[in-house]
Amino acid sequence: MMHWYFDEKVTAERMRETQRQADRAQVLGLYRREELPAWLRLQMRLGQWLIALGEYLQRGEGVRRVDQETSSQCGLR
């Protein structure tokens, strides 16, 4: 009945040892985190831009433009 407890102990110790090795390798500069591929970075950036655009459009701020039919808006005041 005690074999499951021993298996868990062994597994936990192996996980701790693996983490220690990874920490040592990172400190020594042997391990570098992989940089994301350019296409994935571009996709993430485009997603951020779309979110920003959506938030801007939800605020409902419109751009005021001069009416192209008349050169002056003074008569409408």
The string of pLDDT tens digits covering residues 39-55 is 888 999 999 999 999 88
66 lies in a domain?
no
62 lies in a domain?
no
**Domain count along the chain:** 1
Q: Is the pLDDT of residue 11 over 80?
A: yes
69 lies in a domain?
no
63 lies in a domain?
no
Sign of the alpha-carbon torsion through 53, 59, 60, 61: negative
Q: Is the pLDDT of residue 19 over 80?
A: yes
Decide: residue 19, CB within 10 A, 0-12 exposed, 13-18 middle, 19+ buried.
exposed
Please, are residues 66 and 73 in contact by the beta-carbon 8 Å criterion?
yes
pLDDT (average), residues 3-12:
82
The parent domain of residue 21 ranges over 3-57
42 lies in a domain?
yes
50 lies in a domain?
yes
Q: Where are the alpha helices (DSSP H) in 1-77?
A: 3-27, 38-59
SS3 27: helix
What is the reported pLDDT for 7?
82
| pLDDT, the chain, mean | 78
Residue with tokens 């993430």: 44
